[in-house]
Amino acid sequence: MPAATGRHDHSRDTNWFGLLLTGLMVLLALRLVALYLNGTDLFFDEAQYWAWSEEPALGYFSKPPLIAWVIGAATTVCGIGEACVRVPSPILHTATALAVFWLGRRLYDARIGALSALAFATLPGVSLSAGLISTDVPLLLCWALALVGFWGLLESEEVWPALLLGVAFGAGLNAKYAMAWFLMCGGVYLAVTPERRNILRDWRLYLALGIGVAMIVPNLVWNASHKFATFAHTADNANWGGSLLHPNKALEFFGAQFGVFGPILFATFLVILWRARRERLPNQDRYLIAFSAPLIAVIIVQAFLSRAHANWAAPAYVAASVLVVATMVRDDAWGWLKASFALHAVIIALLLFGTSTAGRLELPVKSDPFARTLGWRNIAEATRAELAKAAAAGKPFAAVLSDDRALTAELLYYMRDEPTPVLAWRPGAPHDHFELTRPFTASTPSPVLLVRADGGAGSAAGSFSTVEKIAERTLPAGKNAERHVTFYSLAGYKGE
């Protein structure tokens, strides 16, 4: 296929893959060192995923199971420290960058593939994500491989693209249900490219879909046996129950995309979409637009109707990275591309410095940007101290009780060697995985130690005949923030 990338094919002159591999290995090494030096505690979602990994299952309350399996594999090999919990992230992002190279090379040439892969690997959103572990990390790899597989179906008569597409689609669904948007994007592409619709009569497409469905069936069975908890949570997350007009939320999400994709790259992406209204773009460009623009548009609508987190459109930037780089090279916009790389390199340096000094350096700002990931270890240590004090007095607590998902997750991780069980307060139907799998019940002995990160004893206190406030602590969360925690002794469960 002829390249649509510029006047000269520099991929014939340079080992682009070798240069890419060198760049990715340097970046991976930096990110692995940064994980080792990282001063933050696990964010509560990360702690929750770790807790899931300790109990392998086919599904969990709020997410499919792949993230737990990935963390479980990593901690089995590496250990259970924060760096080991997070280590799959930079490794999988590196693999995704290689998949982006594969996509760019098949659509255009090796030069576009290599530059696109480097652009993706250095995106601000990816650089931030590489220091955390989240469901987006495996999802992006699956999305990139699915893009290669679907293009292979369209361009060849071989079977391997169907196998790749099917496995990537199925694994993606097990990472995050957002993988289903791939079907919408594929439908958009076929709608605007009539000459490609013969793929709908190709048995290989249905083989791929069959593989994908077969891979998600075990999770569907798990959901069916748990009253479709994950689906209910996903619907709740959309939050369509209140007012459905939030233009400020839509603008907030749209503005955040300049940060996720980078200001130069996202602005270029918008220019490409504007041009596409009048110009007949190359087929490769239309393919990439179909797998990026519709997803961003749908999430903007979701934000307008309710809310949307900045990362919800993350899969769009796999295709968008290739599209923007190919366009910049074709238009000889090297200055803008180099400026984008330089800006993103500065952001990487700032993130590496920020995470390595988090909690150790007093910042000249009122609000510590890392405050949400600091102070959790301190709460766990204070809780452990209260348990030890009670045991020394001959009145040990039978369990630690929490009525907050975030606190439950953090206590489970940072008190993982503590024999006293950590239980979740469940006043009714379960609202998270801990309420589902480790609830306080009438059979739990008394007394229990209630740990509250908010003021007051909360709703749990009303179900006990004896409620005693035993300690109150203000604990540091880095140099610029604090966490307030209160401890209560609860006894005499009334069964309410």
For 24-65, the pLDDT digits (tens) are 999 999 999 999 999 999 999 999 999 999 999 999 988 999
The rounded mean pLDDT for the chain is 92
Residue 230 vs residue 219, higher pLDDT:
219
Find the range with the poorest average confidence among 105-119, 270-284, 381-395: 270-284
Q: What does the block give as tokens for 386? A: 């209260």
> What pLDDT sits at residue 365?
65
Give the pLDDT band (50/70/90) at residue 242: low
Sheet with 448-452, side-by-side order of all strands: 422-424, 399-402, 448-452, 482-493, 464-476
> What pLDDT sits at residue 6?
42
pLDDT > 90? residue 495: no
> What pLDDT sits at residue 233?
64
Name, in order, each residue with C-beta under 8 angstroms of 132's C-beta and a sequence gap of 6 or more. 43, 46, 86, 89
The average pLDDT across 228-250 equals: 69
pLDDT > 80? residue 11: no
pLDDT > 80? residue 14: no
Name, in order, each residue with C-beta under 8 angstroms of 293's C-beta and a sequence gap of 6 or more. 273, 316
SS3 breakdown of the chain: % helix, strand, coil, rounded to 5? 65, 10, 30
Closest C-alpha to 56, from 437, 367, 388: 437
Give the pLDDT band (50/70/90) at residue 459: confident
> What pLDDT sits at residue 220?
95
Name, in order, each residue with C-beta under 8 angstroms of 480's C-beta and a sequence gap of 6 or more. 362, 363, 365, 366, 367, 368, 371
pTM for the whole thing? 0.93
Which residues share a beta bridge with 450?
A: 401, 488
